[in-house]
Amino acid sequence: MTVSCEKDFLDRYPQTSITPEVFFNTEEDLALYANGLLSLSSHGMYISDQSTDNLATTAAVEVKNIMTGNPSSQNVSGGWSWGRLRTINYFLENYDRAAVTDEVKNHYAGLARYYRAIFYHDKVKRFSDVPWYSGTLNPGDEELFKAQDPRELVMDNVMADLDFALANVREDVPTGTPGKWAVAVMDAKIALYEGTYRKYHPELELQSTAEAFLQRAAAAAERIMAEGGFSVHNTGNPASDYADLFGNQDLMSNSEMILVNSFDQTKNVSGNQNTGIFGNYEQSPARDLVQTYLMADGSRFTDQSGYETMGFVEEFENRDPRLAQTLAYPGWQRAQDNAPYVQFIARNFSGYHQLKGYVNSTDQVILNSSDVPVHRYAEVLLILAEAKAELGTLTQTDLDNTVNVLRDRVGMPHLNFTEANADVDPVLAARYPNLTDGNRGVILEIRRERRVEFAFENIRYDDLMRWHAGKLLEGIPVGMYFPGVGDYDLTGDGVPDIRLIPDGQTIPAERERNSLGVQLIYYTIGTIGSGASIYLENGVNGGFLVTDDRERNFIEPKYYYRPVPNSETILNTNLYQLFDWE
């Protein structure tokens, strides 16, 4: 940390060009500084699930490297950076100089404390205990060399920052910047995270303090629902209303949006969100995610006879409409194609392709001008449902006002409180074995709803961590199922599109055509490490498309945390490692 702080002093903002006496004078000054702190989710959100069981990935993501390598504080060294905190604290030490009303001062101070709360929450998620600094430091200050503060102290300060922000940040703020309700959403999110984390992580010995955080999460969500004026986007088109939230050119007027990162190439604010989303780039959706979606009648897909070996076309039939608005489905067509898309298959990929966040257009202005939802009302509903379920106070009315509102959007049957607890999904129960109370069934269904509703929105990893479900990351993601060599339809018209042949067999120069006169796409199949063009679990004897074969080991509780980088413990010998990190 000492190194980080000293480096920051060489590049201070805005101290290199202005002094506090000159700069912090007007509301314009405060707004300019606060806007410099703005940090919003961007298009990269849609490929963030590479660290979870939602995606297979060929990328060198941290948690996969940890589970397959020999991690230590010498080679897991990210995250211990403090420059942003200094920038925030510098503002909080100087904003009061401005010759403006207390209301103006407190609004901008509230924004700064909102950003500090998020900063420290991210640090706690990664390291648990971290040093709390409420002011700026200079090289040589003794506080630079103190030990970490306990998680409880840090999180109490985080919640105090949010209390101040909730009381002072304005509701009416410039477009694309956080206001009162964005602060309220973060209050609910952080409280839910900390409450469930403490409940399910006995190594912290903080389980007795979990309830207060869960109550706070529920209260924050209820306040947004009662006073915020937001509603779930539902025009009565269950086949498209959900998809309209992602890759849309204008989300600012959408009733579900609490905070939006807006892009518009015509105004020189652009970003092509298709990069890395579709096809075989680094990530591909996992079959486990596909199997999580319910049937259209509300029954469980994993209760269907033969579900384990269903092919691509069959597993998309009669499903929750969100599945076909999240993944490319049989018969889907790209804007640049004149026929339904045939899934491109390659080694180390699942065969499934992501649609969520993908803009199906060839117009570059449209591609570079799609808005990104930062906070949407749907999450508020699910926070309330989960917090109350964990507290044991959830009712059918609560479900009807939360989960079932989301199901109404896509025309899905309602979740019934009594039935969910009486008929617990055995597949979900096996995934979360630490859930044992009488509310287990409904909690599992709320967790299903979060996974489905927020797939590829940078939520899943945090959910797995707070639920003490890291062991799920040991499973190597698999993809589509093929019983072996033969011809297969991938577009749903009953006509073969691809032909799988054994590894070693030569793909003919003149490929056979199907009944539509289209040449079949040939792939050789074999096991991982062979020369085949795609890998199946059992090679020519069929199985799932496999993406990796390295054993993964998630050590509990160690891997729920990250070590303090070794270089920092050398500079500051008061820093310590938690949970067997060395």
**pLDDT tens digit sequence for 498-518:** 999 999 999 999 999 999 999
Q: Are strands 283-285 and 372-376 parallel, antiparallel or unpaired?
A: unpaired
Indicate if the pLDDT at residue 436 is higher than 90: no
Model pLDDT, residue 273: 64
Among the ranges given (264-273, 344-353, 446-455, 490-499), the one the predictor scored with the smallest mean pLDDT:
264-273
Confidence class for position 7, pLDDT limits 50, 70, 90? very low
Measured CA to CA, the distance from residue 249 to residue 350 in angstroms comes to: 30
Q: How far apart are the first and last CA of the chain?
A: 17
Q: Is pLDDT above 90 for 564?
A: yes
SS3 state of residue 51: helix
Residue 540 has pLDDT above 70, yes or no: yes
**CB–CB of 55/282 below 8 Å?**
no
Two structure tokens written together for 392: 């044991």
Which tens digit of pLDDT belongs to each residue from 355-396?
Answer: 999 999 999 899 889 999 999 999 999 999 999 999 999 999
Task: Give which of 55, 68, 115, 70 is closest to 90, Cα–Cα.
Answer: 115
Check residue 430 and give its pLDDT.
Answer: 97
Confidence grade of residue 274 (pLDDT, cut at 50, 70, 90):
confident
Peptide bond into 178 cis (omega under 30): no
Domain ranges across the chain: 2-178, 484-541
Task: Write the CB contacts of 116 (distance below 8 Å, at least 6 apart in sequence).
Answer: 85, 88, 89, 92, 158, 161
How far apart CA 555 and CA 569 sit, in angstroms, is: 23
Mean pLDDT, range 99-120, rounded to an integer: 98
Mean pLDDT of 129-149: 94
pLDDT over 50 (residue 568) = yes
| pLDDT for res 3 | 33
Q: Which residues contact 41 (CB under 8 A, 6 or more apart)?
A: 261, 372, 373, 374, 458
Closest CA to 79 of 62, 60, 55, 91: 62
Contacts of 397 (CB under 8 A, 6+ apart): none
What is the H or E stretch that residue 213 is in? helix 210-227
The pLDDT score that the predictor gives to residue 17 is 53
Is pLDDT above 60 for 6? Answer: no
pLDDT, tens digit, for every residue of 25-77? 999 999 999 999 999 988 889 998 999 999 999 999 999 999 999 999 999 99
Strand-pair partners of 498: 488, 521
Please tell me which residue, 17 or 491, carries the higher pLDDT value: 491
pLDDT of residue 139: 86
Check whether the bond before 174 is cis (ω within 30° of 0): no
Predicted confidence at residue 121, as pLDDT, reads 98
Residue 472: C-alpha distances to residues 37, 53, 412, 430 (Å): 35, 7, 27, 10
- Predicted confidence band at 179 (pLDDT cuts at 50, 70, 90)? very high
pLDDT at position 580, please? 96
CATH for the stretch 2-178: 1.25.40.890
Q: What average pLDDT does the segment 8-19 reach?
A: 47
Other CB atoms within 10 A of residue 508 CB: 11
pLDDT tens-digit readout, 207-264: 999 999 999 999 999 999 999 999 999 999 999 999 999 989 999 999 999 999 999 8
pLDDT at position 16 over 60: no
Please report, rounded to a whole number, the percentage of residues in the chain having pLDDT higher than 90: 89
pLDDT band at 18 (very low <50, low <70, confident <90, very high): low
> pLDDT digit string (tens) for 385-419?
999 999 999 999 999 999 999 999 999 999 999 99
Cα–Cα distance for residue pair 155/132, rounded to 1 Å: 10
Indicate the average pLDDT of the chain.
94
**Contacts made by residues 414-418, CB under 8 angstroms, sequence distance 24+:** 414/298, 415/442, 415/445, 415/449, 417/442
3-state SS assignment for residue 510 = coil
Whether residue 266 is predicted with pLDDT greater than 90 in this model: the reply is no
Nearest C-alpha neighbor of 453 from the set 513, 524, 539, 381: 381
Residue 289 φ/ψ region, left for φ over 0, alpha for ψ in the -120 to 50 degree band, beta for the rest: alpha
Considering the entire predicted model, what is its pTM?
Answer: 0.95
